[in-house]
Chain A
């Protein structure tokens, strides 16, 4: 079943087109990777899907419903979650609060109930806390629940960002360079983690990554972008052997 379809999406900043004639078909349960050199328009794809930018042309449909024109929080509330290339945690807030904030769209009490701490407030707050602590436990961050996010080591901040994204209760998870700045051992752990949460939460994952080890290791399908255009698309084996890709992106030689 197709979860997300992008057809003929085009996005220009002034005269510069970051993305031209972009098409994407993402099936439910799939793990797909987008690779490409810097400036290829990869992050723009994420920003278009999540509503940070509004596509100049074209349509993006999620479960048949048009996403172009919706605000980011409306799109996120449809269970599309993302992480960021450069970590964007709520740095001065506690680890627990970072995760609790992402429960906003699933919170079922009115402002009046919030002001009086009555009605559904107590039940909902307890549910959010239990849920958040459960997520932190999966990412081995539970003992740090009260710590300020900025004090966490880099790797933990990366994990916290994924935990926060999962708090939205996503069906589609967009990971923007999750392995950036990680050493090989950490990348191995990350690969395990991504596969683990994918099974546990039945996620469809779209990820952007430069680390070939991770991309070739876990992605089922890979899309190669350059200058906003799709160069190739297919399974890791196909991509690794595509001459066009080797020349344009991998530099005509070995694959790392």
Chain B
């Protein structure tokens, strides 16, 4: 019985219609939620954060997971996207009259950031590993202090009064579009080049991979996505300041990536969603609400000594979670594995579907040979 169920489940996961159905379903659902107010504003806000964080985690995964580097620059990319798009939509584009122009501002934010990604890719030619981490950290600090010291864009006060144009359905669309781009990149000769660099850079060079070109492309795509996430973030919060984009922000994204699993788009989605939801769950008010059924004898001391301090404690709990994940689960939940629906059919067929699931190699090989004959 369980075997039969599992077969059906596998077949459903394998079906051609699954991903398109999920996409259309998600689109309709997000539009319906926003339009008819099916969920309250707070839940909608959390879902928007989930979307933005999925973009951030997946794009960082491209550099840190697929390429095996350790970049800390992501919050810096996000800041550049946020600032450039906010300035565009406030000072240049008549967004108030034509809200659709907002997407142009977001796209421009992404493109500006991609150019900056090119700049960060340059040191990666010479420097690897821990040293590249330090270089990217320096980049993050340069961006932050540059923003703090340019008075025209508010200096340390930041920018406020950005129009709130980021809505749930649009975040859904941007997320899907960017994931599609990253997935397409990963399953191309450039993506395989990125993987080869992680495995053995010199060998990949000797196998004709133009490692510099591949690195530049990967960094630019990663920065582009982070820039767009920053742009969406700015038009959600309506207020941005350099302080928002510090190393803590980068750490958050790192947690999502390593929790979900390196070199996996499905993993990054999972990691971003889990992290965002957990962080919301750990809010004092949420926890208090969830535990309010406890008798007062238990609840009151718990509240006094623990729940009330969660605002501070969760900043300890989440990094601790990262340490534990890295120690006991170094590849994360879905590390080096991928959700089937994301793998192009051509790729799955070519592999005889064997590498997707370690357990049913034989099944997959059999079904492959029957298909071939």
Enumerate chain A interface residues (CB-CB to B < 8 A). 50, 52, 71-73, 76-77, 82, 84, 88-94, 96-97, 100-107, 109, 111, 114-117, 121-122, 125-126, 128-129, 132-133, 143, 145-148, 164-165, 167-168
Contacts and interface: CB of A to CB of B under 8 A. Distances in A.
A88 B206 CA distance: 11
B104 to A, nearest CB: 19
A102 B195 CA distance: 12
Given A50-B206, A100-B189, 10 more contacts: A88-B200, A89-B199, A90-B203, A90-B204, A94-B355, A109-B188, A109-B189, A114-B184, A143-B352, A168-B208
A52 B202 contact: yes
Contacts of B185: 114-115
Contacts of A146: 351-356, 361, 364-365
B2 interface: no
Interface string B186-198: 0111111101101
Contacts of B190: 111, 114
B351 A96 contact: yes
Contacts of A100: 189, 192
Interface in B271-288: none
User: Interface majority SS on B: helix, strand, loop or mixed?
Assistant: helix
21 contacts: A52-B206, A71-B205, A72-B202, A73-B208, A73-B210, A84-B203, A89-B199, A93-B192, A93-B196, A97-B195, A100-B189, A100-B192, A101-B189, A102-B208, A111-B190, A117-B187, A132-B350, A145-B351, A146-B351, A146-B353, A168-B207
Given A90-B203, A121-B188, A111 B208 contact: no
Contacts of A52: 202, 206
B279 to A, nearest CB: 31
Contact of B196 (A76, A101, A122, A167): A101
Contacts of A50: 206
A101 B202 contact: no
Given A111-B217, A115-B181, A121-B188, A73 B205 contact: yes
Contacts of B356: 146
B344 A101 contact: no
Contacts, number: 124
A72 B189 contact: no
A90 B208 contact: no
Interface residue range, chain B:
35 or more
Nearest to A105: B208
Given A111-B190, A146-B361, A102 B207 contact: yes
A6 to B, nearest CB: 18
Contacts of B354: 145-147
Contact of A117 (B208, B344, B352): B344
B336 interface: yes
A52 B217 CA distance: 23
B199 A104 contact: no
B264 to A, nearest CB: 13
A179 B146 CA distance: 58
A103 B198 CA distance: 17
A100 B207 CA distance: 10
Contacts of B344: 117
Nearest to B182: A115
A72 B205 contact: yes
A117 B204 CA distance: 23
Nearest to B354: A146
B211 interface: yes
Contacts of B191: 114
B365 A143 contact: yes
A90 B199 contact: yes
Contacts of A101: 189, 192-193, 195-196, 204, 207, 209
